[in-house]
Amino acid sequence: SNVFNKKEFVSNVKDNLKNLYRKTLDEANQQEIFQAVSTTVKDEIMDRWLATQQTFEKDDPKTVYYMSMEFLMGRALGNNLINLCAYKEVKEALEELGLDLSVIEDQEPDPALGNGGLGRLAACFMDSLATLGYAAYGCGIRYRYGMFKQKISDGFQVEVPDNWLKDGYPFELRRPEYCYEVRFGGNVRPEYGEDGSMKFVHENYQSVLAIPYDMPIVGYDNNVVDTLITWDAQAKEVFELDSFDKGNYEQAVAQENLARNLVEVLYPNDNHVAGKELRLKQQYFFVSASIQRALARFKKHHDDIHDLPEKVVFQMNDTHPTVAVAELMRILVDEEGLGWDDAWNITTHCVAYTNHTIMSEALEKWPIEIFQRLLPRVYQIVDEINRRFLIEIENRYPGNEYKKQKMAILWDGQVKMAHLAIAAGFSVNGVAKLHTEILMNQELKDFYDMYPQKFNNKTNGITQRRFLAHANPLLADWVTKHVGKGWITDLSQVAKLAPYAEDPKEQQEFMEIKRKNKIRLAKYIKEHNGIEVNPDSIFDVQVKRLHEYKRQLLNILHVMYLYNQLKSNPNMDFYPRTFIFGAKAAAGYRNAKLTIKLINNVAEVINHDPDIQGKIKVVFIEDYRVSNAEWIFAAADVSEQISTASKEASGTGNMKFMLNGALTLGTMDGANVEMYDEVGADNIFIFGMSAEEVIAHEQHKDYNPMEIYNNDPDIHKVLNQLIDGTFSANDKELFRDLYNSLLSNQGGKIADRYFILADFRSYANEQQKINSYYRNRKAWAKSAILNVAHVGKFSSDRTIQEYVDDIWHLDKITVKMDR
Ligand code: 26W
């Protein structure tokens, strides 16, 4: 059954153009057409959204509130069409008008309300929740400016504001009727009733109004439309120009400012805490509003607040929303009038916590001074939670002061958000098997010893709807041809591809599809970078946030090494290779930004050196984001997942490459370990130290990169090229900091703390194996197909089903539509 009748669709698009812009098709530009097409699609979504809400009303299913500072949604139009099963018919309908759907899709800004892995995971989870038919709300912030746009100027990253709302966003719905007040600052005063009762009064505070904007999350072919709520802030007191009373005037201006600043911009730090007061304000703002909305929904159907855990669960995406623990307590105690134990019992059955990193720089700790000044009542509650928690530790480990110091929520003038999350959460999960083990045995060992039953693993996943069905239609059709359409909602069915891996005809078809995707990407690179790349070369890709632990530096140092080899031995065995990078660096992260400059300078030299006859090309793709990621994954031969073992909690890009038939070159880190288990040693390239080895070196402090530098002439040469002007002729000192970071301890940072030199040789060896393996096209094609065949586990549908079974216990809903 067709979702859209082509004729009707076309006439609706025309109507929308008229209504929105008073234009005919001939007069409208592509952006206007995008808006009109999206409005037409939204109209279709609205019926399902309404029907879903009616089902919620009728069935009152248990609901998960996925609380996240970040939702890295990516473009909605194409994805919505895929999930409505209307992509092809809409594409054809538009073709009849002489319009190209992919050009229209390209008009949509990427809603980039997230940094990287954590934000994109939240987006994949929403897609899976709707597709599996669960009642879910994503709760986040409607940042006016999302993740910055990256421009490369003279090889340096320049950050440009991302004004994603400038043309208006068609897939959101402002819902001022569901607004809530959120309070900051002021003081708390005890007030005694005549009956001897006491309550706390919060006064002299500033407040803002939280206004929700709902975005539809369309499930695949099931009429379910869940909701992503993003909160906007507005001043509560309408700015009164005639209020010349000084106090009021200043108050009004202050509230306007607070509201504007709150949601102005996403903090572009990934895995690094900046400790800015405004960020804590953002956290409390969206958490408070979301909890208020959740409780209001609950109360429509229930009188007894004690039943809350039966109907509501809050999943905290990392510690960023952890103030939810205290906010829920505050509402239960102060507004619902419950006693502490009652309130604590409810809270601790409603909140669960996911940890996404063991990087110590990423652990959120707020100075008590800031926390208390900003959230005086919430702080009192945290203080009481801490007091009782310390008693619990004392009961469990009598007289053990050391335990208390290590585990306290308040310590050393700081509020430790992870400790609060674990003390209150009924579930604590890591995001890959290895990561969860490291949490239990090292990072959170004290907590695991005390609460073993809370800890569990939920290996991450990705949505095959966006990252195969939409990103790679050629491969998607090939998969469907062999295993049917079932994989779209049950990725385990790709296992049926395995027998085709041996079939020469299928191998050839597969490689032909890969080649077409490489041509598509080559065109993009030519248009955006002006670089000519050879689609018959190996596309070797590393795309992810720029971070030292992810070791883009290892990758580019190895490129420099290969270049040296080729220069001194032009006839060596070498299969042409295109090294593709894409990465944003946090604006204040110096070594990360310098690495981007290094990649671009190396590209400049190598790409123009006639001696190597174009055998190596280096490309840095500007402004890596969800929309161009889809093309990049589809075109990759080699997937670089080369983090220092133990540092990458899971990774999810690794899974997107695997889904598109790239072979992984990686360390035994994060979910790479599980990919290895699934695909088998013959179809993946593993190198480097194990997590255990890395952790042992960190503990014994016995690693000396200088030794490697002194004993390995190739490494020696590459490192010297960082400071001899080979790649920075005008400024030999440009890359000095990178050189130093590898060889000398400085400012508390130990030399080569990510073990780049230690892993260099084994990395180069695996790269050499890839070089040979690719020459055997049949073997390569076989391995590539087997990667697709064994990717089933890594669907976010599997992940979400595990969250539902083990943590959330949601009810499945079915939405009927009479059409
Ligand atoms: C407070 C600053 C800050 C900002 C973001 C700290 C930490 C973060 C995130 C936790 C960083 C992040 O995105 N982590 C990634 O989460 C992914 C989804 O689980 C994992 O696949 C990645 O391995 C992990 O780095």
Q: Can you give the pLDDT at residue 755?
A: 98
Give the pLDDT score at 782: 98
**In this structure, which amino acid lies at residue 600?**
N
How far apart CA 255 and CA 252 sit, in angstroms, is: 5
Chain-centre distance of CA 17, in angstroms? 35
Residues in the chain: 819
The pLDDT of residue 245 is: 60
CATH number of 472-691+713-719+753-790: 3.40.50.2000
**Mean pLDDT, the chain, whole residue set:** 96
Q: Which atom of ligand 1 is nearest to the CA of 120?
A: 18
**Residue appearing with tokens 């995971």:** 121
Residue 482 in tokens: 């062999």
Residue 453, CA distances (Å) to 391, 424, 427, 428, 450 in order = 20, 13, 8, 9, 9
- Please name the residues in contact with 449: beta carbons below 8 A apart, sequence gap of 6 or more: none
Report which of 329, 325, 306 is spatially closest to residue 315, judged by C-alpha positions: 325
Cα–Cα dist 227/290, whole Å: 12
Mean pLDDT along residues 443-463? 98
Amino acid at 564: N
Would you say the CB of residue 436 lies under 6 angstroms from ligand 1?
A: no
Ligand 1 pocket: which of 357, 460, 463 to mutate (most atoms <8 Å of CB)?
Answer: 357
DSSP for 522-567 reads HHHHHHHH-----TTSEEEEEES---GGGTHHHHHHHHHHHHHHHH
Residue whose pair of structure tokens reads 């890295």 in the numeric block: 72
Which pLDDT belongs to residue 270? 87
Question: Would you say 672 and 665 are in contact if contact means Cβ atoms under 8 Å apart?
Answer: no
Judge whether 60-74+110-356+363-460+802-808 and 472-691+713-719+753-790 match in fold. Answer: yes
Residue with the two structure tokens 């059409």: 819
Q: Is the CB of 118 under 6 A from ligand 1?
A: yes
pLDDT of residue 131: 98
632 lines ligand 1 (CB under 6 A): no
544 labelled catalytic = yes
| Minimum mean pLDDT range among 217-226, 496-505, 600-609, 810-819 | 810-819
Q: Report the pLDDT averaged over residues 328-356.
A: 98
Structural contact between residues 265 and 233, judged by C-beta atoms closer than 8 angstroms = no
Asked whether residue 388 carries a pLDDT value surpassing 60, the answer given is yes
Q: Which whole-number Å values give the CA distances from 107 to 38, 74, 151, 364, in the listed order? A: 11, 12, 19, 37
Atom of ligand 1 nearest to the CA of 70: 5
Centre of ligand 1 from the C-alpha of residue 362, in Å? 8
Determine whether 590 is an active site residue.
no
Is the CB of residue 638 less than 8 Å from the CB of residue 770? yes
> Between the CA of residue 613 and those of 134, 298, 629, 648, 727, what are the distances in Å?
56, 67, 29, 36, 19
CB 461 less than 6 A from any atom of ligand 1: no
What is the C-alpha radius of gyration for the chain, rounded to an integer number of angstroms? 27
652 lines ligand 1 (CB under 6 A): yes
Ligand 1 mutation target, pool 279, 318, 355, most atoms within 8 A of CB: 318
| 1: confidence class by pLDDT, cuts 50, 70, 90 | low
Which residues are within 8 A (CB) of 798 and not within 5 positions of it... i.e. 6 or more apart? 461, 491, 492, 792
Cα separation, 800 vs 265, in Å, equals: 29
Are the beta carbons of 633 and 659 closer than 8 angstroms? yes
Report the atom number in ligand 1 closest to the C-alpha of 320.
1
* Sign, CA torsion 512/518/523/526: negative
The mean pLDDT value for 479-490 works out to 98
Q: What is the largest CA-CA distance in the chain?
A: 95
pLDDT digit string, tens, across residues 23-41: 999 999 999 999 999 999 9
Q: Check residue 274 and give its pLDDT.
A: 87
Give 655 Cα–ligand 1 centroid separation in angstroms: 16
Pairing type for strands 173-174 and 149-153 reads unpaired
Structure tokens at 92: 């054809």
Q: How high is the pLDDT of residue 752?
A: 98
Quick one: average pLDDT of 83-96? 96
How many angstroms does the Cα of residue 314 sit away from the middle of ligand 1? 19
Q: Strand 156-160 and strand 538-543: pairing?
A: unpaired
Cα–Cα dist 418/552, whole Å = 29
* 656 compared with 1, residue with greater pLDDT: 656
The strand pair at 365-367 and 414-416 is best described as: antiparallel
Q: Is the pLDDT score of 241 beyond 60?
A: no
Q: Which of 514, 545, 597, 625 is catalytic?
A: 545
CATH superfamily of 60-74+110-356+363-460+802-808: Glycogen Phosphorylase B; (3.40.50.2000)
- Give the closest residue (by CA) to ligand 1 atom 22: 651
Query: DSSP state, 439?
Result: I
Structural domain boundaries in the chain:
7-59+75-109, 60-74+110-356+363-460+802-808, 472-691+713-719+753-790
Encoded amino acid at 595, one letter = T
Question: Would residue 356 show up in a list of annotated catalytic residues for this protein?
Answer: yes
**Helix, strand, coil share (%) of the chain residues, nearest 5:** 55, 15, 30
430 lines ligand 1 (CB under 6 A): no
C-alpha dihedral, 526 to 527 to 528 to 530, nearest 10°: 50
Cα 116 to ligand 1 centre (Å): 7
Higher-pLDDT residue of 395, 240: 395
pLDDT at 494: 98
In angstroms, the CA 26 to CA 92 distance is 19
**Long-range contact list for 293-299, CB < 8 A, 24+ apart?**
293/137, 293/139, 293/178, 293/180, 293/212, 293/229, 294/63, 294/65, 294/137, 295/331, 296/178, 297/63
Residue of the nearest CA to atom 18 in ligand 1? 118
pLDDT at 238: 60
- Report the candidate in 396, 392, 290 with the shortest Cα–Cα distance to residue 341: 392
Average pLDDT over residues 753-778: 98
Tell me the whole-structure pTM to 2 decimals.
Answer: 0.98
Rounded distance, CA 793 to CA 791, Å?
6
Residue 795: both structure tokens together: 């669907």
Nearest CA to ligand 1 atom 12: 118
**At residue 735, what are phi and psi to the nearest 5 degrees?**
-100, 15
* Cα 647 to ligand 1 centroid, rounded to whole Å: 11
Model confidence over 148-191: pLDDT tens digits? 999 999 999 999 999 999 999 999 999 999 999 999 999 999 99
Secondary structure letter of residue 492 according to DSSP:
G
**φ, ψ for residue 579 (rounded to 5)?**
-90, 115
Distance from residue 269's CA to the centre of ligand 1 (Å): 10
Ligand 1 pocket test, candidate residues 356, 364, 546, 652, most atoms within 8 A of CB? 356
Spacing, Cα 337 to ligand 1 middle (Å): 37
State yes or no: is 347 an active-site residue.
no
Residue whose token pair is 């623990």: 325
The reply to whether 403 belongs to the active site is no
Please check whether residue 132 is in contact with residue 471, taking contact to mean a CB–CB distance below 8 angstroms. Answer: no
How far is Cα 667 from Cα 672, in angstroms, rounded to an integer? 7
Q: What is the pLDDT of residues 527-561, one digit of tens each?
A: 998 899 999 999 999 999 999 999 999 999 999 99
Task: Determine how many CB atoms are found less than 10 A away from the CB of residue 15.
Answer: 13
Q: Is 468 exposed, middle or buried (0-12, 13-18, 19+ CB in 10 A)?
A: buried
Instruction: Mark whether 550 is an active-site residue.
Output: yes
Q: CB within 8 A of 594, min separation 6: which ones? A: 734, 735, 737, 738
Taking the centre of ligand 1 as the mean of its atom positions, its distance from the CA of residue 358, in whole angstroms, is 9
